[in-house]
Amino acid sequence: MPDMGRVPWMVLVSRTLLVSVFVAVPLSMAVESEEDAPSEWKLWKRANGVDYEEENNDIKRRAIWEKNKELIEDNNRKFYMGVSEFTMAMNKYGDLTRLEYHQLLGAKVNGNAHKKGKTANARKLRYHARRLRLTSVDYRQMGYVTEVKDQGYCGSCWAFSTTGAIEGQMFRKTGQLVSLSEQNLVDCSWSYGTYGCSGAWMANAYDYVINNGLQASETYPYTSVDTQPCFYDSNKVVAQINDYRFIPTGDEQALADALATIGPITVAVDADHPSFLFYSSGIYEEPRCNPNNLSHAVLLVGYGSEGGRDYWIIKNSWGTGWGEGGYMRMIRNGSNTCGIASYALYPIV
């Protein structure tokens, strides 16, 4: 169980603090710095259904938005100069405060913490993966992956990462792809050490599923809140797991081998950077990533190579408007980039 007297896990506020985006911005920045800034700001608000009742709030939000816009444009200039390998784009999160952004980062994991549960045998994973001789894997093309979902402004990424891996294993077992209920986990797994919209260890979510199973999204739809009671109905359970295994900590080869031989994997990453928040396309690489500062849970669904650069494919839970249709390609270079192999596990059905 987490030590509630400390903040040891992927809590909503990390040590990195996104200084480059969320520094205090002078209100004077909200004054038109460019002729087209007002119209762009209004168009963005209209496109995202945003309306601020108080003028002071509008001014403050616009200052944040303009700072983010400047950062995005700076990165994209570097991309076209061949300095950066990925593009960034303004999205629905453009006006978020630091605290609001951290509400999206809901996995509670300390990369150095002891992991309960068994660890997979890396040697066995390597043996089976070598027999496959795969240079790329993409479970989206193999029927294992449901549509991109959106967690809303609730730190429930841990639930989406958990259901995604179980969805894949249930497909592998039954040949049927069924979207599983994240809300079932958010509402009903508190006694297992999860914290609804305030995050969780993904292994605790797996423990709940071992004992209770999961309903489908169709019978237990997502509401993006953690204030409603548990509506779990055991007669409507459509997925069950028997156990789970961790990947050896920091071992990217073992992670790739497990992905190739088993299916999509639950992983955690350091997403506490504006480059992650506004990622749009390309192969993501953030030099400031800390493999022990895990802040966000995602689903690993593949790997491949482009232009001599290897990458992972991760499925996020921020809707299709983020990244490459809801996905990111992250650099795969054996150095445990952003901690992708620091806390990785898969279900056994």
pLDDT tens by residue, 277-312? 999 999 999 999 999 999 999 999 999 999 999 999
Looking at the structure, tell me whether residues 155 and 199 fall in a common domain: yes
User: Are residues 291 and 342 located together in one domain of the fold?
Assistant: yes
Q: Are residues 163 and 69 in the same domain?
A: no
Whether residue 296 contacts residue 10, with contact meaning beta carbons closer than 8 Å, is answered with yes
Model pLDDT, residue 108: 65
User: Whole-prediction pTM value?
Assistant: 0.88
Same domain, 187 and 299: yes
Q: Beta strands 237-239 and 214-215: pairing type? A: antiparallel
Same domain, 141 and 42: no
**Residues 190 and 305 both lie in one domain:** yes
Say if residue 34 is in the same domain as residue 157: no
Domain that holds residue 330: 118-348
Q: Is residue 251 part of a domain?
A: yes
Question: Mean pLDDT throughout 264-289?
Answer: 97
The total of structural domains in the chain comes to 2
Judgement on whether residues 57 and 132 belong to the same structural domain of the protein: no
Distance CA 250, CA 26 (A): 41
Residue 201 in tokens: 């260890």
Both 132 and 237 in one domain: the answer is yes
122 and 172, same domain (yes or no): yes
Token duo for residue 35:
């002729």
User: Catalytic site residues?
Assistant: 157, 296, 316
Is residue 85 very low, low, confident or very high in pLDDT (cuts 50, 70, 90)?
very high
Q: If you average pLDDT over residues 141-156, what whole number do you get?
A: 97
**193 in the same domain as 65:** no
pLDDT tens digit sequence for 161-195: 999 999 999 999 999 999 999 999 999 999 999 99
Q: 115 falls in which pLDDT band (50, 70, 90)?
A: low
pLDDT tens column, 27-43: 444 444 545 555 899 99
Instruction: Report whether pLDDT(9) > 50.
Output: no
> Residue 222's domain is classified under what CATH number?
3.90.70.10
